[in-house]
Chain A
Amino acid sequence: MIDLLMEPFQHPFNQRAVLAALLIGFTNGYASAFVVLRKSALKVGSLSHALLPGIAVAILVAGLHDWSVFLGSLVAALLIGLGSLAVSRGSRLDQDSALAILYTAAFSGGIILLRRLGVAQEMEAWLFGNIMGLRNSDLWTNFWISFAALGVLTALHRPLLMTLFDAEVAATLGVPVRALNYLLLAVLIVVLISSLQAVGCMLALGLLVTPAATVYLLTDSTNALFWGGSLLGGLASAFAVLAGWWLNIEQGPAIVLVLGALFLLAFLFGPKYGLLHRSHRKGS
């Protein structure tokens, strides 16, 4: 039994996977507080799908490198995000509809292109993650992305929160609301890219919403939302990677499933906003 539990720690690729899960989960958990407070989870989800066509085009143009994948997916998500804004402003369509059209079309193009590029075996990794396949260089890339994203988000914490609470009041106090909204979206896209290797673009949204959403059901404190989300994201992801090894299930889906299970627990049994507590209070 002990051997089975300790086994994951004996392989370098496992140690890397656990470390990466901690790092990616922590960063995503912190950023997820902004997604929850911004109430724009599905918009962010659309952008996570927009990463795939960017990867495909990047591989086609520049070959498969860390930097080409990063730049390609970043540019694609930005183009689709800004494109949906342009379509909604230039027509009577709302932005969500425009976003849905653009990202599904781009995603389809990305699938078709990836299959023709001879990297089909990697397709599943892009879609659902392959955290066991991480190299040391990937770990470093993730570290720097997390470091930069957390740095920007903590440095701008005060004006970002004011913008999310009430954009108009924030603007009358001199907060550059529009610029911060774009910056936040850009940082969230970068965080999504950092989680690509762990959970893939289909599941990235789960990691970027669930941690803080779970904490949100347990506390009213803003600090707890951010740091609790980070800890929950990091620890749950690392645990899921190990559990995946023990139970022989795929690590990417395991991460999102573990987070989902924790959310369900908070939803049902939360001491303050939990469903059972509230119905109990109503009944008494």
Chain B
Amino acid sequence: MVYPTHESCAHCGHHHELRVENLRVRYRHVDALQDVSFATSCGSCVALIGPNGAGKSTLLKAVAGLLPVTAGRILWRGTKVAKWSREIAYLPQRENVDWQFPITVRGVVRMGRYPQAGWWRPFSNADETAIEQAIGLMELADLGDRQINQLSGGQQQRVFLARALAQEAHVLLLDEPFTGLDRNSKSALAATLRRLTEEGRLVIAAHHDMDTVRDIYDEVLLLRRSAIAFGPVAEVFTAAGLDATFGVLPADGKELA
């Protein structure tokens, strides 16, 4: 696949590639993932598709450096991802977040500058600028001082995206970002992810809703403990591929290819 040229990676001449090689993650005495290999690049929006328990969250967490890799390796820009990286942002499932935590929208976004500011250094002007820019880009300017428990689902998702932008991340890993959003929020989020992708980021999202895959994503990784297939949506997101991933035919036999 030919990746579009983009602006935000201009500081670096070489190819921004995320390469996963023969990844195996053993988790609580079970192989959550094995034989997962794929390579993608900035400027692509990738869907992780597979049944529950297929290892979508595990793969996202492994790339984010949250889980120890049992075998194989994950390379970002040619360097092994050992632990965390400022360039990789992880956005948890909304239902796993404590929305009653007493913190404002701006407070969450400020967390994105922790790698720059460290344990106690006050935020610099550059930090403050990045924070306000991120809030503005995600159209949260009016909500900066609002408590996070007073947000709609779409706004909650945008707060986490703003945090990732403040972090100046190149890779955005999202766990089921569309789950629980209403129709308008869904299409708004899809447009936002498209824009972030075109600006030169790599977006990887676990995704459930089969009807919207074509509209949102460039590439698909079919996953069921191991990688079933990876490639452009048109080539991989086929009836045969989904059969192999989910093990059954779609109930109504709807044409998917």
Is B92 within 8 A of A216, CB to CB?
A: no
Is A162 within 8 A of B119, CB to CB?
A: no
* Interface pick from A9-17, A41-49, A218-226, A252-260: A218-226
Is B84 within 8 A of A168, CB to CB?
A: no
A144 at the interface (CB under 8 A from B): no
Interface residues of A in 208-224 (CB under 8 A from B): 216, 219-222
Is A168 within 8 A of B119, CB to CB?
A: no
Give every chain A residue within 8 A of B149 (Cβ-Cβ): 220
A111 CB to closest chain B CB (Å) equals: 38
Is B102 within 8 A of A221, CB to CB?
A: yes
Is B97 within 8 A of A166, CB to CB?
A: yes
Is A174 within 8 A of B119, CB to CB?
A: no
Give every chain A residue within 8 A of B119 (Cβ-Cβ): 155-156, 158-159
In the complex, per-residue mask of A148-176: 1 if CB is within 8 Å of any chain B CB, else 0: 00000001111101101110111111110
Known: A156-B119, A159-B119, A168-B66. Contact between A173 and B102, CB under 8 A?
Answer: no
B247 CB to closest chain A CB (Å) equals: 30
Report whether over half of chain A's contact residues are helix, strand or loop; otherwise say mixed: helix
Q: How long is the Cα–Cα vector from A219 to B149 in the complex, in angstroms?
A: 13
Interface residues of B in 81-128 (CB under 8 A from A): 83-84, 86, 88-92, 97-98, 101-104, 107-108, 111-112, 114-115, 117, 119-120
Known: A165-B98, A165-B101. Contact between A220 and B147, CB under 8 A?
Answer: yes
A148 CB to closest chain B CB (Å) equals: 16
B229 at the interface (CB under 8 A from A): no
Instruction: Tell me the number of A-to-B contacts counted with CB atoms below 8 Å.
Output: 71
- Which of B64, B101, B108, B167 touches A37 (beta carbons < 8 Å)? B101
Give every chain B residue within 8 A of A219 (Cβ-Cβ): 102
Instruction: Identify the closest chain B residue to A33 (Cβ).
Output: B102
B208 at the interface (CB under 8 A from A): no
Give every chain B residue within 8 A of A156 (Cβ-Cβ): 119-120
Q: How long is the Cα–Cα vector from A168 to B163 in the complex, in angstroms?
A: 14
B65 at the interface (CB under 8 A from A): yes
Q: How long is the Cα–Cα vector from A278 to B66 in the complex, in angstroms?
A: 40
Give every chain B residue within 8 A of A170 (Cβ-Cβ): 111, 114
Q: How long is the Cα–Cα vector from A37 to B119 in the complex, in angstroms?
A: 19
Known: A168-B61, A168-B90, A216-B102. Contact between A173 and B107, CB under 8 A?
Answer: no
Instruction: Identify the closest chain B residue to A165 (Cβ).
Output: B101
- Which of A157, A161, A165, A171 touches B66 (beta carbons < 8 Å)? A171
Give every chain A residue within 8 A of B90 (Cβ-Cβ): 168-169, 172
In the complex, per-residue mask of B1-16: 1 if CB is within 8 Å of any chain A CB, else 0: 0000000000000000
Q: How long is the Cα–Cα vector from A159 to B86 in the complex, in angstroms?
A: 15
In the complex, per-residue mask of A23-52: 1 if CB is within 8 Å of any chain B CB, else 0: 000000000000001000000000000000
A218 CB to closest chain B CB (Å) equals: 11
- Chain A interfacial positions (CB closer than 8 Å to B): 37, 155-159, 161-162, 164-166, 168-175, 216, 219-222, 225
Known: A155-B119, A173-B112. 20 other contacts (CB 8 A): A159-B114, A161-B103, A164-B101, A165-B98, A166-B92, A168-B61, A168-B64, A169-B92, A171-B65, A171-B84, A172-B64, A173-B111, A173-B167, A174-B114, A175-B114, A216-B102, A220-B102, A220-B104, A222-B102, A225-B102
The 7 closest A-B pairs by CB, nearest first: A172-B90, A220-B147, A173-B114, A172-B64, A220-B102, A174-B84, A172-B84
26 A-B contacts (beta carbon < 8 Å) = A37-B101, A155-B120, A156-B120, A158-B117, A159-B119, A162-B114, A164-B101, A165-B101, A166-B97, A168-B61, A168-B64, A169-B91, A169-B92, A169-B111, A170-B111, A172-B64, A173-B84, A173-B114, A174-B83, A174-B84, A174-B114, A219-B102, A220-B104, A220-B147, A221-B102, A222-B102
